[in-house]
Amino acid sequence: MSIDLSVSVTNANKLDKHINKNEKQDKKDKQLYNIIERKVKKEKHQHKKPGSRDGTLKECKRLFKEGASPEVLTKLEESLREQEKYHRYYVQCFLPVLGEVIERSKRISNETKKQVISEVTKSCFSRHSEQDSGYGSDFEDEINGISDSDSDFEDGINGISDSDNDVQLLNAIQNGNNRKFRKYLKDCTNVSGITDEKGNNILHLIASLKKKQKLKFLDTLIKIANEKNLVQLVDSENQEGKTPFQVALINKIIKGKHESNTVRSSDNTLKFLAKLLKYGAKLSLPTEDLEKLSKKQNEYYLKFLEKLAERKPEIKTKVEEVIAHTINTPDSNDNYQLHLAIKNKDEKSFKELLQKGADISLKDTDGNNALHLIVLELKQKRKFEFSNIILNVSKEEEKEYLKAQFKKAINAENTAKQTPLYYLFQHIKEKNEDRSCTDKKFEKTNRYKALELFLQNSADITAQDKEGNNALHYIASLKGEQKVACLELISSLVKEKEISEDQLGKAIKAINEEGRTPLQVSLTKKAEKGNHLSQMKTIFDLGKKYDNTTKFCAKLLEIGADSRSLKLKDREFHTEKYYCTLRNLENYSKTPQEGKVKAKELRKKLEKKYNVRTFSKKCQHILHKTGDGLKAAWKCIDPGRRASVLLAITVATTIITMVTLSCFQGQIAIGAALPIIAITGVVCLIFTLELSGIRKSVKELTNDKQSRKDDHLAAKQPENITEQQNLANNSAEQEVQRSSNQSEHKESPATQMSYVSILRQFTNKPDGLTNIY
């Protein structure tokens, strides 16, 4: 067998050339692979899109010109899939620019261009790429200069059919490629029916794009789609129940921290939403989404809506409704914005929220509405100021619903069965027990003003708490003048028709869980302070200064309280304070007659039951005894001295009477009155009993001296006996004359009767004084 050596050599040369060519091809492919890999994994470029003059792109052009295989692009894409960061940059930033550079090159054959573009397209539309899309944008299209003709060229390479058009349309949106979106949209026959696996239509996907992308895609959609399709797209909801408008708005709200809390007029989302409103977009967000928003996000949302209303005045009313709905929806911490304004003591924000439609009757997790929190959280004058703001806004803004909400909120109970009015009473009671807060007149305090404001605006005084206490029960438990002032306030509001008489009557007669009326609550509070009557030997009852409990009870009796409520059945309350209160009600001029009679009846029963002895009765008994003693002493007094004794007794009696009256009226303390009475009595006694004795001693002494003198003279001068006898006779005559003078000064019977009459008045005087008091 002969072999043609020349043919063999030729074939060998061809094989060598083919081998060399393959080796060169592999070398170029490897170079291309390494160059692109280094570029993709290089950190300095910060994963931004390469420029058209990038060195790596130039090397790729050279290698493709020299025969590097475009399949390298697909192999590299597959190797980078496990490295998401690099894969994303490669597919979405590098390859689109590479394709555009190769397409523009004049030194690369058309066949190579087709192959490169095919590989680029294949990599860009891979399954993994679809899941991580979003980098492409109109901005890239503009920079790269990709035209519709390029798209047609790529479509020809990939052989896209009409059946794949919907998928390619969604991919174009996800990749942010407006050029392709425009192309596929023109060929789409059912724009409103295209949805992804989550129920998002093409407008949902557009709403999720960033910055200007959503605006440009929307403009393209508006130009190509008809109005009917646009309305359907705008109104359509995805599987989460959200419209495209809501998707764009939620993305905007939850994006960033919104620290500045301002919305610019040039904001892209603002412009996008304004265009959607032309086709009937719904403004409000779902309640579940609102509840997930933080306080700052909620505030930004309201600012955004207000800015939207400025841009579209025709939707102002609708925006106001949405704002009100948002304000009245709790945030992620179950807090209402109005409640936060109260807790933060933010008066300005509180007023603004009311003007925007905040509902004051809404309750937090503890059942507290805005009025509950105003009373519980705020101090001093802020309670009155915040409450007054509600009514002022209602009046100034002509928001009648606010006043209706106030009436509803003021009588609403929280989980503890307490209304705002009763929390206010508790606050008043706490301040009432604080001595540092009792210096100022109660009617001038902010507590009183807040109470007046509540009562003037339909606060129900008959409403009972869990212990059965109504407003009057609370007032009855207050100390000092505050209980009287509160009752006077309610009484005046009844006269002004702010509170009905029926409501007052019901409140007065109401019985709490302990079975007590407001009148009995006041009496028991007073009775608790005293000692039990069984332990008292004597009750000092001279003071007639009527305390606030007496005035309060008398006022209750005056405006309709049953006098039978004066009776306290529990023995433990039968104390000296209860007894004295009954006595005061019996004597107080403003107590109704029926009340006086009942108070006297109850007082007499207590005296009999506990054998009560009072200081006034003791004084009366002593005066009776004194009168009897004086009558007996009067009989023993020499008639000649009765005038002087009667004068002394009259002066002493006048002094004692004046001191006793002053003590009764509280002008002199009992400790000072008793010494005065004692001293006066002693002086009177000395004057009446010892004065006659002193006179007698003086007279005896004078007579003794005279007799001694006469004896001396008789011994010395006997001769003068006749003369001394004459002198004695003269003395006898003088003595007779003096006796006659005394008989002349003896009282006549009429004068004696007058003295007896005065003495009887004196002895009967204590009875009269005692009966008066």
- Measured CA to CA in angstroms, residue 225 lies from 142, 233, 347 at distances of 23, 10, 50
Q: Would the pLDDT of 476 be above 90?
A: yes
What's the fold here for domain 362-517? 1.25.40
Distance from C-alpha of 767 to C-alpha of 246, rounded to nearest angstrom: 94
Q: Which of 68-72, 253-257, 581-585 has the highest mean pLDDT?
A: 581-585
Q: Which of 189, 216, 219, 221 is nearest to 202 (CA)?
A: 221
Cβ partners under 8 Å of residue 71, min gap 6 = 29, 119
606 near 579, Cβ under 8 Å? Answer: yes
Q: What is the pLDDT of residue 364?
A: 93
Distance CA 323, CA 338 (A): 13
**Closest alpha carbon to 174 in 206, 142, 211, 215:** 206
Query: In the prediction, which pLDDT does 169 show?
Result: 87
Structure tokens at 397: 């803004």
Q: For residue 769, what pLDDT is reported? A: 39
| Rounded mean pLDDT, 183-187 | 86
pLDDT tops 60 at residue 650: yes
Percent of the chain residues past pLDDT 70, beyond the cut: 72
Torsion angle, alpha carbons of 107, 111, 114, 115, to 10: -100
Cut 0.95: pTM above it: no
Half-sphere CA count of 753, side-chain side, radius 13 A: 3
- Closest listed residue to residue 56, CA positions, set 88, 90, 85, 26: 90
Q: At CA 103, angle to CA 100 and CA 105, rounded to 5?
A: 110
What sign does the dihedral 624-628-633-639 (CA atoms) show?
Answer: positive
> Pick from 492, 475, 496, 493: which is nearest to 484 by CA?
475
Q: Give me 300's structure tokens.
A: 């930004």
**Average pLDDT value for residue range 587-610:** 91
- Residue 477 vs residue 769, higher pLDDT: 477
- The CA distance from 125 to 635, in Å, is 142
Mean pLDDT within 54-61:
83
Q: Provide CB contacts within 8 A for 539, sequence distance 6+.
A: 533, 576, 579, 580, 612, 613, 614, 615
User: What residue type is 315 in one-letter code?
Assistant: I
Other CB atoms within 10 A of residue 294 CB = 15
Find out whether 172 and 132 touch, Cβ atoms under 8 Å: no
Q: Over the stretch 729-765, which tens digit does the pLDDT of each residue have?
A: 555 555 545 544 444 444 444 444 444 444 444 444 4
CA dihedral (579, 581, 583, 585) in degrees, to 10, reads -150
Cβ-Cβ contacts under 8 Å for 551 (sequence gap 6 or more): 484, 588, 590
Angle at 751 between CA 748 and CA 754, to 5 degrees: 155
**DSSP line for 531-589:** PBGGG-S-B--------HHHHHHHHHHHTT--GGGG----GGG-BHHHHHHHHHHHH-T
Closest CA relative to residue 60, chosen from 80, 46, 79, 40: 40
| Sequence-separated (6 or more) residues with CB below 8 Å from residue 97 | 49, 50, 52, 54, 57, 144
Q: Which residues, other chains included, contact 301 with Cβ-Cβ below 8 Å and sequence gap of 6+?
A: 249, 253, 285, 290, 293, 326
**In the predicted model, what is the mean pLDDT of the chain?**
77
Q: How far, CA to CA in Å, does 442 sit from each of 4, 378, 421, 551, 772?
A: 133, 19, 17, 16, 35
201: helix, coil or strand?
A: strand
Separation of alpha carbons 689 and 687, rounded Å: 6
CA atoms within 13 A on the CB side of 52: 13
Query: Residue 156: pLDDT above 50?
Result: no
SS3 614: strand
Cα(670)–Cα(624) distance, integer angstroms: 20
195 three-state secondary structure: strand
Hey, how many other C-beta atoms are within 10 angstroms of the C-beta on 284?
19
pLDDT at 645: 67
Structure tokens that stand for 375 in this block: 């009373």
> Is the per-residue pLDDT at 127 higher than 60?
no
pLDDT band, very low/low/confident/very high, at 492 (cuts 50, 70, 90): very high
Torsion sign over Cα 81, 83, 88, 93: negative
What average pLDDT score do residues 337-350 get? 93
What's the pLDDT tens digit per position in 375-392? 999 987 899 999 999 989
CA–CA separation, 586 vs 725, rounded Å? 81
Q: What number of other Cβ atoms are within 10 A of residue 732's Cβ?
A: 10
**Is the separation of the CB atoms in 269 and 234 below 8 Å?**
no
CA distance 522 to 487: 12
Token pair of 178 as six digits: 């407006």
pLDDT value for 415: 92
Give yes or no for residue 682 having a pLDDT over 80: no
Whether the per-residue pLDDT at 667 is higher than 90: the answer is: no
CB 538, CB 615: distance < 8 Å: yes
Tell me how far apart the alpha carbons of residues 123 and 126 are, in angstroms, rounded to a whole number. 5
Q: Give me the mean pLDDT over the 24-49 stretch.
A: 78
In the structure encoding, which two tokens stand for residue 174, read together?
Answer: 């996800």
Task: Give the Cα separation of 669 and 542 in Å (integer).
Answer: 10
How distant, in Å, are the alpha carbons of 25, 35, 106, 369 from that of 65? 12, 15, 10, 78
| Angle at alpha carbon of residue 167, lines to 128 and 151, rounded to 5° | 90
Tokens of 546: 């009527």
Separation CA 338–CA 344 (nearest Å): 10
Render 405-441 in DSSP notation, one character per residue. HHHHHHT---TTS--HHHHHHHHHHHHHH-GGGSSS-
How is residue 135 written in tokens? 């980098």
Q: How confident is the model at residue 176 (pLDDT cuts 50, 70, 90)?
A: confident
Mean pLDDT score, 266-289: 85
CB atoms within 10 A of CB 574: 21
DSSP, res 2: -
250 and 293 in contact (C-beta within 8 Å)?
Answer: no
Percent pLDDT > 90 in the chain is: 26
Q: What ranges do the domains of the chain cover?
A: 25-189, 362-517, 519-616, 618-738+746-772
Q: What is the pLDDT of residue 258?
A: 58
| CA-derived radius of gyration, the chain | 57
Q: Lowest mean pLDDT: which of 50-54, 512-516, 614-618?
A: 614-618
Query: Could you tell me if 686 and 648 are in contact, meaning their C-beta atoms sit under 8 angstroms apart?
Result: no
- Residue 718 DSSP one-character state: G
Over range 681-690, report the average pLDDT: 66
Q: Return the minimum-mean-pLDDT range out of 2-16, 33-47, 446-460, 531-545.
A: 2-16
- Please name every residue paired with 195 in a beta bridge, in sequence order, or none if there are none: 201
For residue 652, the tally of other CB atoms under 10 A from its CB is: 21
Mean pLDDT within 59-75 = 84
